[in-house]
Amino acid sequence: MIQRKSIHHLLLTSVSLLLIMPMTYAQLLDFTNPLTTNALRAVNDNVMGGVSKSRFTYAPEGIVFEGEVSLENGGGFASLRSPIFIPECTSALNLTIRGDDKQYKLVLRTDNSPRSPLYQADFSTTRDWQTHRFDSGDFKASFRGRAVNAPELVFSSVIEIGILIANQQAGTFRVQLKNIQSIHDTSC
């Protein structure tokens, strides 16, 4: 009985420490800064023969990414990408965004090789600002839309970040991005 109480006490203490563990937030991409647009690029399905179109524009509340996804010619996606540096000890990412009630993916790339997998995490948007938190376990590795086996995602290995609309969602889309932050465990 004493051993069970000791284990229970140890678990409660560990959980309590996790709850009060200091965390810091670092701004990785501030989409309210017009200079951020210099590093952005739109990548659509036309790289594979599709005809989807997208564009991004600066607005004081954040970058607007919009366009039209077409399923013609085997297409069906549009994305916005940016190089990024994510510091060591990052335990999660926050994305602040509002949109059009559609499904999107936060996409991370760890290698520039054309054969390297992407790490994708699904999220949905609403017309109100929302902050989505993504832990490394939320991301699934894929290559050209198909799940693949890949090493576990380490945020500090990421070199590119993006927003993707796909999954047969033909038609117009519009999202507005405010920022992307990293969450650090300061005990790291």
Residue-level pLDDT at 187: 76
State how far the Cα of 86 lies from the Cα of 95, in Å rounded to an integer: 14
Rounded to two decimals, what is the model's pTM?
A: 0.85
pLDDT lower than 50: segments of the chain: 1-21
Dihedral of alpha carbons 27, 32, 33, 34, sign: positive
Residue-level pLDDT at 10: 37
Could you tell me if 99 and 176 are in contact, meaning their C-beta atoms sit under 8 angstroms apart?
yes
Domains, the chain: 22-185 (2.60.120.430)
Residue-level pLDDT at 58: 98
CA–CA–CA angle 132, 157, 153 (5° rounding): 60
Residue-level pLDDT at 22: 59
State how far the Cα of 126 lies from the Cα of 53, in Å rounded to an integer: 22
Which of 82, 71, 80, 81 lies closest to 49, judged by CA?
71
State how far the Cα of 89 lies from the Cα of 145, in Å rounded to an integer: 29
Residue-level pLDDT at 34: 97
Residue-level pLDDT at 90: 96
Residue-level pLDDT at 61: 98
Q: pLDDT for 56-99, tens place per residue?
A: 999 999 999 999 999 999 889 999 999 999 999 999 999 999 99
